[in-house]
Homo-oligomer: A and B are copies of this chain.
């Protein structure tokens, strides 16, 4: 069994109280792939520019990630820079340069259309819908999003989540989307919008899984040494999807283990 992930591959410049790194591998699809590849086979669809360092290609290949869908095109790679405060909470974005990502129209090669598991990482929900139309009826589909799309393209996002099985979003996004401050009410409301499973991520406070019949809440693994939280949500989604793909199931015990 294998997973197809469509999303961003980026070069991140990140400053945290523990240090600074410049133009390192980032992007939702990178984090997701590296994490999911611990459990299952993964194929990645994304775009990078001419400046994308080959060492990152090697890093992804070493993890057995299929890069047939990673397109290199003229121009620069999507880059993001941000800074975290003492609490390692939401980053303060310093710059976002979409570059080649600005015109990204995901094209799924014929050879990649038959993956049974599909993860639509955080990109424009119109593009996520477009990818859904290209693939051949995957067994399980999942997506992530962000506050920006809830604010600017909610109509398409609502259309998308009607069609996916699993929806990942964080606490503040869940409140924004439902206009409900209670997180249980928000989770139940989102379930009614379509997905079979809703995963609300709470950062250092864990995650809550909502399904039609049951709810499961898990704390996050305690970390004393935090260096850089960038991509933590995508990494979580990667582990979750990797587990259910490997287990080939979707019963509640399996979902619970996937969260853990």
Chain A contact residues, CB within 8 Å of chain B: 86-87, 181-185, 188, 202, 204-206, 208, 215, 217-220, 222-224, 226
Residue from the list B204, B219, B224 in contact with A185, Cβ < 8 A: B224
8 more A-B residue pairs beyond the given contacts A182-B223, A184-B222, with a C-beta to C-beta distance below 8 A: A183-B222, A206-B206, A206-B219, A208-B222, A215-B222, A217-B219, A217-B222, A218-B219
CA distance A183 to B220 in the complex (A): 12
Q: Give Cα A182–Cα B188 distance, bound, in whole angstroms.
A: 32
A87 touches B185 (CB 8 A): no
**Which of A183, A188, A205 has the largest count of B CB atoms less than 10 A from its CB?**
A205
Interface contact A205-B208, CB-CB below 8 Å: no
Closest beta carbon of chain B to A184's beta carbon, Å: 4
Could you say how many copies of this chain the assembly holds? 2
Nearest to A175 among chain B residues (CB) is: B87
* Contact in complex: A184, B223 (CB < 8 Å): yes
Point out the residues of chain B lying under 8 angstroms from A204, CB to CB.
183
Report the minimum CB–CB distance from A57 to chain B (whole Å): 35
Q: B205 near A206 (CB under 8 angstroms)?
A: yes
- The CA-CA distance from A215 to B204 in the complex, in Å, is 16
Chain B positions within 8 Å of A181 at CB level = 86-87
List chain B residues, Cβ under 8 A from A222. Answer: 183-184, 208, 215, 217
Chain B residues with CB below 8 A from A217, complex form: 219-220, 222
The reply to whether A226 and B87 form a contact with Cβ atoms under 8 Å apart is no
- Smallest Cβ distance from A207 to chain B, in angstroms? 9
Q: State A217–B215 Cα separation when bound (angstroms).
A: 18
A223 to chain B: which residues have CB within 8 Å? 182, 184
Complex Cα gap A182–B16 (Å) = 14
| Bound-complex Cα distance A91 to B182 (A) | 17
Taking a contact as CB atoms closer than 8 A, the residue among B182, B188, B205 that contacts A226 in the complex is B182
Question: A215 contacts which chain B residues (CB < 8 A)?
Answer: 222
Residue of B nearest to A219 (CB): B217
